[in-house]
Structure 1
């Protein structure tokens, strides 16, 4: 039996700076990835492609370690899109053949003043998984009761990291821009 789990999470955060600064900052994907995921769990595979070793998940006697390929694309106006392009489970070949993950997130300016920009985001996560033979007789309500909170927890962790780390990354980026004396951002 295949189970499908879905979760959605929204986020809103304010960055203290001009819209031009936020747009320039958002054109550098490494800052956004650093705000979402610990650096020791990320390997960059291209300009906009990152491989992420997610934290292990243990449920129903299974140990699952997702490794997700994420594409982070930026568009003019500080719009950022994050999409899973692939996923596999480390160390569990059977589950790998019976597992699918879809993830997409978007972050974009919602409002702006001269001193700050509020970004709004939305993330969607879907997982499709078949239980291994040893768990096939597990009641479906129990599987759902375990799976749904895990999905929501993953998205809440992403939201928390984004809300806490992105303003910090942006502040440090601003400080480096000012210290370098090469500030090329045109103030509006």
Structure 2
């Protein structure tokens, strides 16, 4: 039985800062990746590409650990686009051969009277052949469980974005102010393993 699961999550963060510094910050896509994910689970693949080893996810009686390759592209207007390039499920070979993941998202700074709003949207879609004996489970239960799992993944990303990205941006602003360098700061260290 082949099933598709889908989830979307929007975000709107109000940041009390002019738009220009936030645009400079967002031109460093690695900062977004490290803010959204535990840095020990990230491998830099070069240019704007990263490999993320996600935490194990439990789907009914099966534990899955997706490894997702992402492209994070910084646009000249300070917006970011994110999309998955591939995915591997480690530990369950049957599912890995019958699994498809597609993730697309964006973040865009928008000037407001009080500063800047960071507006974003992420769409996540997974398709998988359900292995026996799980294929005996009623379809509505499988769909509700799968869609709920994807929603929880996107909600976790939203929470990390709201906390970690904003905190990292504040650190970056402090570093810019203390060094007097308004251009670029040294990028975060990138793991090569």
TM-score range for the pair, normalised by the shorter chain length: over 0.9
Q: State the TM-score, normalized to the length of structure 2.
A: 0.90
State yes or no: 1:104 paired with 2:104: yes
> d(CA) in 2 for partners of 1:136 and 1:26?
43
Q: State the TM-score, normalized to the length of structure 1.
A: 0.93
The equivalent of 2:126 in structure 1 is 127
> d(CA) in 1 for partners of 2:144 and 2:26?
37
The equivalent of 2:191 in structure 1 is none
Provide runs of 4+ in structure 1 moved above 6 Å: none
Deviation at 1:184, TM superposition (A): 4.1
Kept in 1, the 8 Å contact 2:9–2:121? The answer is yes
Listed as ranges, the matches of 1:3-152 within 5 Å are: 3-113=3-113, 116-152=115-151
66-75 vs 142-151, which moves further: 142-151
Give the unaligned 5+ runs of structure 2: 185-193
Kept in 2, the 8 Å contact 1:98–1:130? The answer is yes
Q: CA RMSD in A?
A: 1.4
Deviation at 1:137, TM superposition (A): 1.4
